[in-house]
Structure 1
Amino acid sequence: MQLSQLEYLQAVANYGGVRKAARAVHVSPQAVSSAIKKLESEYQIVLLDRSAGEAVLSPAGREFARRARVILAQVDDLKKYAQSGNGGVSPDGHFRLYAPCLHGRGLLFSENWYDSFESSHPQIHLD
């Protein structure tokens, strides 16, 4: 799945059809239709009703678009955060360092090192 596919699907939802969506996002109707066909193929779901003159969202397509809207909003929020220039500092004023898949402190940090680091650098929160 690519974000552009979700954006095209969302444009179809917003504008009511593939041709109108294509004009709004400045691509050809074939590009919009092709991107959505790839989503349909990847997820084995019919997103567009192509039986009428203008391809519009199917009931499953409306639900898929609703869920895509949430993802696109999160991506937009992430872009805004990255552009805000706060350099990784969270709203609570802490720099957050994430160690994915590290359950507890494991063997990576000794108790003494962790406590010493935390007291020496209160602006950095280790997650």
Structure 2
Amino acid sequence: MGTKIAYVMSRFPHLPETFILREMNEIEQHGWDVALYPLIKQQQDIVHAEAKSWIPRARYLPFFSGDVLMANLRALFKKPGRYLSIWGKAFAENLSSPNLLVRALALIPKAVYAAELMQNEGVQHIHAHY
């Protein structure tokens, strides 16, 4: 396969986002290696037929685990300014909405872990859908 691209999306499989599924299939047909990183595993009764082959390939990451903790500690000690600025920016930009603030702060550890995995897997491009 060619260039490795990570697709980050809020949830998968998610029937209303079939266009993303088609996009990922098309990207792979053009020789890209697609890695799927959904934030949430969507539970639904109907799953698009083409999505079924992606489910075992999806990297459903926990919000917290020993691996998540270790990735965050590595990030903190490797680049403390960058790591702390992420927390500060998430706090400052979501302060006006308590719901968004809680969600943003809950996602940071998971995102740091995902970023480390992507780097270790040789991801060269990140494409996000929300």
Judge same fold: TM > 0.5, yes or no.
Answer: no
Structure with the greater alpha carbon radius of gyration: 1
TM-score, scaled to structure 1: 0.27
Considering fraction of residues, name the structure with more strand: 2
Output the TM-score relative to the length of structure 2.
0.26
